Chains A and B, each alone.
Chain A
């Protein structure tokens, strides 16, 4: 699993880390019951504060993507399977948008403003952006 952060980007580091995890899930690299690396390890490797990583894990927990368990750390939930399955549909959506000439940014706004999500149930802009970023990475697979 590759985690990249950009200290120059205005998006908070903890969101970037959460993005990396969501992308890994969407790609199928992280599956249900997989354990996320220890926050220490990521913090050490990226040379950032451990609490930044922990914040990312808490965000993922609030989204329902991971469980934070004492002793075991962050474990990916079954939601991961659903998220990965969603990827196929998202790819189809992205292709259709492209065909229609709808911009990626417009598409993201559509997803964000779609009914069924709200700030309180954790469906943040980040998740939809991450998913679509993954789709961009893998155009013709």
Chain B
């Protein structure tokens, strides 16, 4: 799938890369956008056709015994299918788009391939589940007579996995993350000179708004739950969970960064956590464009085997490779100077 012919000129390499990227995007669009939209639309149309034949109120939730224990208007199915089916597809596709829309560096990696495959499988699962739940009630006068649908849900779940796996395999294997880039030019420092670099890894505007809106929605949801009389334990858990989400979000969204002869230190604005990259562990430093969605699967404090990033926006940043091969990335302004100093202190420790 990857281009086997070795390009002889940088121009050819660039065009090959663009071709691969275009191909990956095209396949992902078919399985991750078009397929889910078609599946969701088809199932919604069918649900609309079935609407008049369903009991009112209809069963919308089944209990562990297999009998329906939650009831509501039949139109709930329409809403559910539309919101989850289209909603999740839009969410997945937005995340994919985030990694390829920025004009500086467009990257493709298994992350996006996964998102597209997930969207495909999930839309099938939701469609089947809703169709099954509504379908067994057709012609019934009383929703309480609705039969057990456990095996249907199980089958829908299997379909999810199967469709996702196929959607994954159908897409080409394209990984454009490891591009050749030059190591940072070391800062010239004489024996008598010392330098430090101080900056911040700040959340980008998009990240800030996305997080903010998300947190507000969670807060609204929590308030809505609190408004309904529930037992104290449930409320306690809810409150603790919301608080945890808020605290973790703030902790990992803004870091103060210092580079000196010891290495790099990134400290959260709330004081903890602090991440340190000792100078003696560094093998290579680059100032480069960082694409959080393609390289780390998203914004924020990100970990994957072999890589760790404090990537709070798309754009310039410092990427250091440790001697054991692990990658440390951090998005900061003035990354050229930061990288040049880090490269210099790393060299200093290698003496």
Interface size class of A (residues with CB under 8 A): 10 to 19
B16 within 8 A of partner (CB): no
Contact check, B334 vs A3: say whether CB atoms are below 8 A apart.
no
State whether A3 and B193 are in contact (beta carbons under 8 Å apart), knowing that A29-B334, A45-B260 are contacts in the complex.
no
Tell me, in angstroms, the Cα distance from A41 to B267 when the chains sit together. Answer: 12
| Per-residue A-contact encoding for B170-207, CB less than 8 Å = 1, 0 else | 00000000000000000101111111111100000000
- Given the interface pairs A41-B258, A44-B260, A46-B260, the reply to whether A5 lies near B193 with Cβ below 8 Å is yes
A4 close to chain B: CB less than 8 A: yes
Contact B190 A46 (CB under 8 A): no
The answer on a CB contact under 8 Å between B198 and A3 is yes
Chain A contacts for B329, CB-based, 8 A: none
Check if B199 sits within 8 Å of A7, measured CB to CB: no
Is A47 among interface residues, defined by CB-CB distance under 8 A?
Answer: yes
Q: Which residue, of A1, A42, A47, has the highest number of chain B Cβ atoms within 10 A?
A: A1
Indicate which residue in B187, B194, B334, B337 contacts A46 across the interface (CB closer than 8 Å): B194
B residues in contact with A8, CB < 8 Å: 190-193
In the complex, whether A6 has a CB less than 8 A from a CB of chain B is: yes
Tell me whether A42 and B190 are in contact (CB under 8 A): no
CB pair A5 B195 closer than 8 Å = yes
Are the CB atoms of B195 and A2 closer together than 8 Å? yes
Contact B334 A4 (CB under 8 A): no
Q: CA–CA, A7 to B192, complex, Å?
A: 5
Within 8 A of A (CB), among B324-351: 334, 337-338, 341
Pair A6/B196 contact, Cβ less than 8 Å: no
Q: Is A12 an interface residue (CB 8 A)?
A: no
User: Is A117's beta carbon under 8 Å from chain B?
Assistant: no
Asked whether B75 is an interface residue with its Cβ less than 8 Å from the other chain, the reply is: no
Q: Does B321 contact A (CB under 8 A)?
A: no
- Given the complex, which residues of A lie within 8 Å of B190, measured CB to CB? 6, 8
**How many chain B residues touch the partner (CB < 8 A)?**
19
Q: Give chain B interface residues in 197-228, CB to chain A under 8 Å.
A: 197-199
Q: Which residues of B contact A4 (CB under 8 A)?
A: 189, 193-195
Q: Which residues of A have CB within 8 Å of B192? A: 6-9
**What is the CA–CA distance of A81 and B202 in the complex, to the nearest angstrom?**
22
Q: Hey, which chain B residues are within 8 Å of A7, CB to CB?
A: 192-194
State the Cβ distance, B278 to closest chain A Cβ, in Å: 14
* Complex CA–CA separation, A25 to B193 (angstroms): 22
CA of A46 to CA of B190, assembled, Å: 14
A1-44 residues with Cβ-Cβ distance < 8 A to B are 1-9, 29, 37, 41-42, 44
Residues of chain B contacted by A46 (CB below 8 angstroms): 194-196, 260
The smallest C-beta distance from B307 to any residue of chain A, in angstroms, reads 26
- Give the CA-CA distance A46 to B194 in the complex, in Å: 6
Determine whether B268 belongs to the interface, using a CB cutoff of 8 Å to chain A.
no
Contact A45-B196, Cβ < 8 Å, known A1-B334, A2-B341, A29-B334: yes
- Within 8 Å of chain A (Cβ to Cβ): is B261? yes
Provide the residues of chain A in CB contact with B341, threshold 8 Å: 2
> Which one of B190, B193, B199, B337 has the highest number of Cβ atoms from chain A below 10 Å of its Cβ?
B193
CB pair B260–A1 under 8 Å, yes or no, is: no
For B258, the chain A residues whose CB sits under 8 A away are 37, 41, 45
Given A4-B189, A29-B334, CB of A47 within 8 Å of CB of B194: yes
Interface of A with B (CB < 8 Å)?
1-9, 29, 37, 41-42, 44-48
Q: List 10 A-B contacts (CB under 8 A).
A: A2-B195, A2-B341, A4-B189, A4-B195, A5-B193, A7-B192, A7-B194, A8-B190, A8-B191, A41-B258
Q: Which 9 A-B pairs have the closest CB atoms?
A: A8-B192, A45-B260, A45-B196, A4-B195, A37-B198, A7-B192, A6-B193, A2-B337, A46-B194
10 further A-B pairs in the complex, CB-CB below 8 A; given A2-B197, A2-B334, A8-B190: A1-B197, A3-B195, A3-B197, A5-B193, A5-B195, A8-B191, A8-B193, A9-B192, A29-B334, A48-B194
